[in-house]
A and B are shown apart, each in its own frame.
Chain A
Amino acid sequence: MTQVSMTVNGKAASGEVEGRTLLVQFLREDMGLTGTHVGCDTSQCGACVVHVNGEAVKACTMFAIEADGAEVATIEGQANADGSLNVIQQAFQDHHGLQCGFCTPGMVMSAAALLKDNPKPTEAEVRHYLDGNICRCTGYHNIVKAIMAASGQDVAALAAE
């Protein structure tokens, strides 16, 4: 076993892990942060997307030891300091950007990574960026709409309800 220490959502986190322990296992099983989901476990679906040192990664395809010393952000750390939903989360609620909700943590984390680099993406850019996030309810239109709305753009003309 190896000792790892990292910062998760601004707080110090440490634990003993095996070489094979995935970052997502460490977050869910050792830290109790079960908001990060495991969908496919083969880095296709994006339900496990978290940020490591500010970059979106699939937590099912990175070892916990590789995140030693890193700043990790998960869905649990996304709300505002007063507990209210942040602008992306609120937009998902307002625009019905989730159905069953399983993919939502990864969608929100990917959206946050996109908007950090590209604050006013086009609809096509949002869709392209979400290549690695699968919604099995197929609710993509409203997810895209929510992300466009979160970027402060007018979404009245976007397709579908």
Chain B
Amino acid sequence: MYNFDIEKPTTVADAVQALGADEAQPLSGGQTLIPTLKARLAAPSKLVSLAGIDEMKGICMDDEGRLCIGGATTHATVMREAEAHYPALASLAARIGDPAVRNRGTIGGSLANNDPSACYPAGALASGATIVTNTREIAADDYFQGMFTTALEEGELVTEVKFPVPQAAHYEKMIQPASRFPLVAAFVAKFSDGVRVAITGASNDGVFRWTQAEEALSNTFSAEALEGMQADGDMIADLHGSAEYRAHLTGVMTRRAVAAIA
């Protein structure tokens, strides 16, 4: 690992100012960033730790009935505190990595990184969440822009995420046991005005909405409505699974998620 300085601001404003320095980078839970630094895949001059910013932590319900989660909230906190409000999202958080990783990793870090196999992007996209930053609000449909790519500008921080709570939802994940990331996972969210389905782990374009399944499920909400269907697209192929296998799993995971709800 190359060396760098670490700053520990206590407000969003101070963090944004610190990130104005040349080659500065935010550090949230570090569960992806620290291994990346060890591999010398990044060489920031300064890391700005977000862990001491209390205004970016915690969970609440807003006046519109949305579940609001601070960007620096850990997966373990979401697992415990979101259970009463949005059980499917709490269940997603409870299955990220392992217990020690969940005590450090944060929702803002996961969404800012947008790993093509991460869990939170699927939860945020399927829920139609709003990503709140220090400068603006971004709809999840506009936020995810491909593998490791988001609408975030340089130095922009995910301060909060607002989740509309569906009538019912389920996250179904085929785990890749070595990394504990999903090989392919589906998040199905059933709202009064329709169904949203997001798939992670499958596509070279990162998390995506499977609109064909959404239409079928909005018509008839049953696993049978998806019989024989699988998502199209430029699927990931690697030593853990071929593109064909991943495409197949999009159908299997989504049907299982629907069956768990219906």
Contact = CB atoms under 8 A, between A and B. Distances in A.
Interface of A: 2, 18-20, 22, 41-44, 46, 49, 55-58, 61-63, 65-66, 68, 110, 113-114, 129, 131-133
**Closest 9 interchain pairs by CB?**
A132-B98, A131-B98, A55-B103, A19-B6, A20-B1, A19-B4, A56-B100, A65-B6, A58-B100
A45 to B, nearest CB: 10
Nearest to B34: A61
Given A41-B38, A62-B34, A57 B4 contact: no
Interface in B29-82: 30-31, 34-35, 37-38, 47, 49, 51, 76
B6 A46 contact: no
B34 A113 contact: no
B93 to A, nearest CB: 14
A61 B103 contact: no
B107 to A, nearest CB: 17
Given A49-B100, A58-B104, A65-B8, 19 more contacts: A19-B4, A19-B6, A20-B1, A20-B2, A20-B4, A20-B37, A22-B34, A42-B35, A43-B34, A46-B98, A57-B103, A61-B101, A63-B47, A65-B49, A113-B99, A131-B98, A132-B97, A132-B98, A132-B101
Interface string B211-226: 0000000000000000
Given A19-B3, A41-B38, A132 B51 contact: no
A20 B51 contact: no
Given A66-B49, A66-B51, A56 B34 contact: no
A19 B5 contact: yes
Given A19-B47, A62-B104, A132 B31 contact: no
A110 B3 CA distance: 30
Interface of B: 1-6, 8, 27, 30-31, 34-35, 37-38, 47, 49, 51, 76, 97-101, 103-104, 178-180
B104 A57 contact: yes
A58 B103 CA distance: 9
Contacts of B179: 44
Contacts of B76: 55
Nearest to B180: A131
Contacts of A132: 97-101, 180
A68 B1 CA distance: 20
Nearest to A113: B99
A58 to B, nearest CB: 5
A57 B2 CA distance: 23
11 contacts: A2-B6, A19-B5, A19-B6, A20-B1, A44-B179, A56-B100, A58-B100, A62-B104, A63-B34, A66-B8, A110-B100
